Structure 1
Amino acid sequence: MLATTTFTASNSNPPNPAHKNASPYPPSSSNSRQAHIVSINRRGLLASLSIALTPFLASPQIKNLTHYADFISLPVSEARGLFQMPPVRLTNRYFLVRAGESEYESLGIINTNPVAKTSMDNGLSEKGKKQTVRAALDLKSMGACEGNCWIWPSITQRAYQAAEIIAAVNGVNRSHIVPEYSFLDARGLGAYEGKKLDSISEVYASDSLSPNIKPPPIDDGTPNESVQDVFVRVTQLMSILETQYSEDTVVIVSPDSDNLSVLQAGIRISLSGLAKSGSSMLVAYRHTNSRRLQSTSA
């Protein structure tokens, strides 16, 4: 219900308290003006205020831009276009780290279903922890985190555990660990899920023929990704990093080697050129290998 306030306007003089018989109401006569009743509700009040304030809130119309710039000098930032592979240059320094051996891998089993990526079975094995410590020390010897350093691990259990070890060894605050929830997932191997690790060589043989060949599909939710699919993911990741940071160091921690190998290949050469050469790009990274990523022009 709208609240209503009533105002009474009249030109009659107020009553004189000296006169006892004075009536508190103005005399009614044919010559006196009739009282005006003005009704104001909230909606009308807000509408009136908006009309009154419009000239003050509107953007100024600038006719002489040069003269206006003399009064207001704003810093001009360099515009960055859409990130493309291969990039002309990188604005940050990158180190690529493959996480150590997981519990699943210690059993010789392929596990790439994203549903299980935060499971403790996907965490580092004892061997994997030792591998990660060695990688962290390698990064320290390279001076990776001497400046402003950020660690971007996959949310996959073993990758995030590796990131925590790297941060501890290199003196990086935990607030500089930024988990990545999808772009750094292990490559989905489809019907190879649950098979022996040795069978992954069949996938790499297909990759050497074309980056668009996918592993056979499966209906348990495990994606079947081609090299091209992985390429799209890591390109999106680099687009975020190159936009969010400038002149910083970023340590990318992946649960598998495919992400890092595709990323490194994308930075240096195009996928079409790789397909013509007939060589596989998925051979560069073993457990906890640490490498610096550079663009072609770097």
Structure 2
Amino acid sequence: MCFWLLFFLGSSYYLVRAGESDYESLGIINTNPVAKTSVDSGLSEKGKKQTLRAALQLKAMGACDRNCWLWPSITQRAYQAAEIIAAINGISRSYIVPEYSFLDARGLGAYEGKKLESISEVYALDSISMKTKPPPISDGTPNESVSDVFVRVTQLMSILETQYSEDTIVIVSPDSDNLSVLQAGIQGLDLRRHSELYFGPGEVRLLDANSIPVYKQPASAVYKCKKPPNCD
């Protein structure tokens, strides 16, 4: 499975997690793509404020001083976040490119509808193997492994690098996992540790070498990996 190192990237990237959604404000996991364009999947009042801060942070960072493309998930909260970012940074709506599948929130299967705190159980499974899936459910919610997410985000990067080389792109995701897995993969970090790169609602990061925390390799043999980020 291929991945990009930073010096191979032709474009500049900013990673943004949309602000809190209405479901998240209730402490509920909601990852079924059937509901991704529903009004109930939009930004909460707190989420709008978080996104406004993100938009102002991008402006302060000069992310779109020389124009940029906004690439949000079509998920309601991510697209709303992109519109706020565009308004604050003076970006034309023609520069907002909706992504219909590669940036869907990670499907968490049987964890759908459970409390947000349950995500820690998913991350515990992730730390064992990047191929471990959450338990399935019969309501149509996907149950995606880290490996599944990695396939999606690398396909996205292939498109972006082909079509927007040397441009600035702001990727807006409805959840953290798309971004943490992407960041880990680009840096060549063990994908089983992607949750250590967790994005909070409304968080912004420039994707460059200086934006990655310095990690100490754990002593446990659980994390030994000869060919990161492809670790079983």
TM-score using structure 2 length: 0.87
Aligned to 1:86: 4
SS at match of 2:206: strand
Candidates 57, 61, 68, aligned match of 1:142:
61
Q: CA deviation at 1:283?
A: 3.9
Aligned to 1:200: 119
Aligned to 1:225: 144
Q: CA deviation at 1:218?
A: 0.5
The CA RMSD measured in Å over matched residues stands at 1.6
Which is richer in helix? 2
> How many Å separate the matches in 2 of 1:102 and 1:225?
21
Q: CA deviation at 1:280?
A: 4.4
**Greater shift in the superposed pair: 281-290 or 255-264:** 281-290
Aligned ranges for residues 13-24 of structure 1 at < 5 Å?
A: none
1:27-78 CA-partner distances (Å, limit 9, x unpaired): xxxxxxxxxxxxxxxxxxxxxxxxxxxxxxxxxxxxxxxxxxxxxxxxxxxx
Distance change (3 Å), C-alpha of 1:84 and 1:140: same
> How many Å separate the matches in 2 of 1:280 and 1:90?
20
Candidates 133, 139, 156, aligned match of 2:52:
133
> How many Å separate the matches in 2 of 1:194 and 1:212?
23
Candidates 181, 186, 203, aligned match of 1:289:
203
Q: CA deviation at 1:282?
A: 5.0
Distance change (3 Å), C-alpha of 1:282 and 1:121: farther
SS at match of 2:184: helix
State whether residues 267 and 295 of structure 1, in contact with CA within 8 Å, keep that contact through their aligned partners in structure 2. no
Candidates 82, 107, 111, aligned match of 1:163:
82
Q: CA deviation at 1:200?
A: 0.8
How many residue pairs end up in the alignment?
A: 209
Q: CA deviation at 1:274?
A: 4.4
Q: CA deviation at 1:219?
A: 0.9
**Greater shift in the superposed pair: 187-196 or 283-292:** 283-292
> How many Å separate the matches in 1 of 2:191 and 2:166?
30
Aligned to 2:42: 123
**Greater shift in the superposed pair: 285-294 or 256-265:** 285-294
Candidates 181, 187, 197, aligned match of 1:268:
187
Where structure 1 has 5 or more consecutive residues not aligned to the other structure, the ranges are: 1-82
What is the percent sequence identity of the aligned residues?
A: 74
Q: CA deviation at 1:86?
A: 2.6
Aligned to 1:74: none
Over 3 Å off, 4+ runs: 279-283
> How many Å separate the matches in 2 of 1:292 and 1:268?
13
Structure with larger Rg: 1
Q: CA deviation at 1:247?
A: 1.3
Q: CA deviation at 1:138?
A: 0.3
TM-score using structure 1 length: 0.68
Where structure 2 has 5 or more consecutive residues not aligned to the other structure, the ranges are: 211-232
> How many Å separate the matches in 1 of 2:166 and 2:119?
37
> How many Å separate the matches in 2 of 1:147 and 1:246?
15
Distance change (3 Å), C-alpha of 1:138 and 1:203: same
Aligned to 2:165: 246
Q: Which has the higher contact order (CA 8 A, sep 6+)?
A: 2
State whether residues 21 and 43 of structure 2, in contact with CA within 8 Å, keep that contact through their aligned partners in structure 1. yes
